[in-house]
């Protein structure tokens, strides 16, 4: 079981909770462990995971930092980052510590709009038909909300008159926070 845990920790960035879940699943799939004499061996999964955490093979803080940065760089919002970390078994304190700030949240919203070609980044394919424009706007709002962005950020990005206005909006938050780039 120790070898299986080491192999998993070497291959995947993970949290203690995920490793524990993986090991429990493997025991369930393979059955109980037996020693050389054929006797059933009781495996203490939490102790094994605690040992790997102690040795530094599993680090919830590093995982949370890496995952939050990765999702932000892909254009996902704070809510989606928090959900992903919670699902991975990261504790509430670490989730809060690695939650994106205002500037990072704004930058992620702008990145999502740029990637999906929404708002000021759109090609303008809906023409002058108000019905098509409204449907496109509703789809854009829904896509950004699903990506975990705050409604206020979605409104601001989609209503921006141009890319420069979005960049100024992001710079404003960076100045207020006193940070240039956390991610």
Per residue in 137-153, pLDDT tens? 999 999 999 999 999 99
Q: Using CA atoms, how far apart are residues 107 and 101, in angstroms rounded to an integer?
A: 10
Overall pTM > 0.85: no
The secondary structure element, H or E, covering residue 87 is helix 78-87
The pLDDT value given to residue 2: 84
Per-chain mean pLDDT for the chain: 88
The pLDDT value given to residue 43: 79
The pLDDT value given to residue 39: 64
* Secondary structure (DSSP) of 102-122: HHHHHHHHHHHHHHHT-GGG-
Angle at Cα 165 formed by Cα 162 and Cα 170, nearest 5°?
135
Banded pLDDT at 166 (limits 50, 70, 90): very high
Strand partners, 40: 34
The pLDDT value given to residue 127: 60
Residue 179 reports pLDDT greater than 70: no
For the segment 10-54, what is each residue's pLDDT rounded down to a tens digit? 898 899 999 999 998 888 887 766 656 666 667 788 999 999 999
The pLDDT value given to residue 26: 87
Contact between residue 52 and residue 9 where contact means Cβ atoms under 8 Å apart: yes
Residues written for the chain = 183
């Amino acid at each position: 079981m120790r070898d299986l845990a080491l192999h998993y920790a070497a291959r995947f960035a993970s949290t203690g909770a995920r490793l524990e879940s993986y090991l429990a699943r493997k025991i369930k799939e393979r059955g109980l462990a037996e020693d050389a004499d054929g006797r059933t061996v009781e495996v203490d999964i939490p102790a094994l995971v605690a040992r790997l955490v102690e040795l530094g093979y599993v680090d919830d803080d590093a995982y949370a930092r890496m995952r939050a940065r990765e999702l932000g760089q892909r254009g996902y919002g704070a809510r989606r980052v928090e959900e992903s970390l919670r699902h991975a078994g990261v504790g509430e304190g670490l989730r809060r510590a690695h939650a994106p700030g205002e500037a990072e949240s704004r930058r992620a919203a702008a990145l999502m709009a740029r990637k999906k070609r929404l708002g000021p980044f759109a090609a303008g394919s809906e023409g002058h038909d108000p019905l098509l424009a409204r449907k496109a706007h509703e789809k854009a709002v829904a896509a950004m909300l699903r990506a975990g962005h705050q409604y206020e950020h979605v409104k601001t990005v989609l209503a921006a008159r141009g890319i420069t206005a979005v960049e100024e909006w992001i710079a404003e938050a960076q100045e207020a926070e006193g940070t240039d780039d956390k991610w």
